[in-house]
Amino acid sequence: MYTPVKTLEEYNELIRKEQALLFYFSTDECQVCKVLKPKIEELLSANFPKIKLFYINLNTAPELSAQNRIFAVPAIQLVFGGREYLRKSRSFGLAELEDEIARPYRLMFNK
């Protein structure tokens, strides 16, 4: 399940504390975002359970969009060990996403 992130301070604290995170950026108006969000949750739950999911609603936290240079939604940001590893926005496939997460996930968690 996605945990909402509402402030830049919260966002920065998560990056400092957590080993593996996926931030999902969206807006209330984005219909594609609403369809994709549970599919990404299912993908990570089934294949990458150690990645923690966080949701950033750009309607309520626009400073997070500006800080991260997010200009289109849906967008994801994958962070391993405090560093951004992957960023996708607008149109991307789940199979492509799974392939790009698999290698660093295995390296980090020895799976």
Contact 78, 11 (CB under 8 A): no
CA distance 73 to 67: 15
If the chain, 111 residues long, is cut into consecutive pieces of 10 residues, what is the mean pLDDT of each piece? 91 95 94 92 95 94 89 94 93 91 91 58
CA distance 94 to 80: 19
**In 3D, which of 38, 28, 29, 24 has the Cα closest to residue 74?**
24
Contact 74, 30 (CB under 8 A): yes
CA distance 88 to 94: 11
Look at residue 93 in the predicted model and tell me its pLDDT.
87
CA distance 72 to 1: 23
Reported pTM: 0.92
CA distance 40 to 66: 23
Domains and CATH numbers, the chain: 3-109 (3.40.30.10)
Look at residue 78 in the predicted model and tell me its pLDDT.
96
